[in-house]
Amino acid sequence: QVQLVESGGGSVQAGGSLRLSCAASGDTYSNNCIGWFRQTPGKEREGVAGIYTGFGTTKYGDSVKGRFTISRDNHKNTVYLQMNFLEPEDSAMYYCAARGSGGGDWDCITRALRTDEYDYWGQGTQVTVSS
């Protein structure tokens, strides 16, 4: 099992930046596919970015490409989501999630943005972007 704790959310004006953190504990070696998702009330959870922590291979949702960057620090068992040029449409609860990737980075990245692929979820951190 793995436990996930998100932090770094807050309120920011449009055009600003935030960095979210996802601190993992437990069996982080096996659960090496990490994804960031977001959700607003009444909408389905949306995949934002994913990373295979072994090689650092990444994948992004179309709405955040070029603005968000996912990265990892394996020594700290932490995955980050750097969010730049934030827009009001980015306002949401942001969650990180983890699962094992027995097939390596290909297995992780091809399904990185699918919510139904993940076994473990954090409690979320709120991001609010004002215009």
* Buried-state track 100-110, b at ≥16 Cβ within 10 A, e below 16: bbeeebebbbe
Q: What does the pLDDT look like over 64-98, one tens digit per residue?
A: 999 999 999 999 999 999 999 999 999 999 999 99
pLDDT at res. 104? 85
> Residue 44 to residues 5, 38, 59, 70, 115: CA-CA distances in angstroms?
21, 9, 19, 21, 10
Give me the mean pLDDT over the 2-25 stretch. 98
The letter for the amino acid at 90 is D
Predicted confidence at residue 103, as pLDDT, reads: 78
Q: Is the pLDDT of residue 102 over 90?
A: no
Query: Residues 4-30: what's their mean pLDDT?
Result: 96
pLDDT for 4 beyond 90: yes
Q: What is the mean pLDDT of the chain?
A: 96
What tens digit of pLDDT does each residue of 40-50 get? Answer: 999 999 999 99
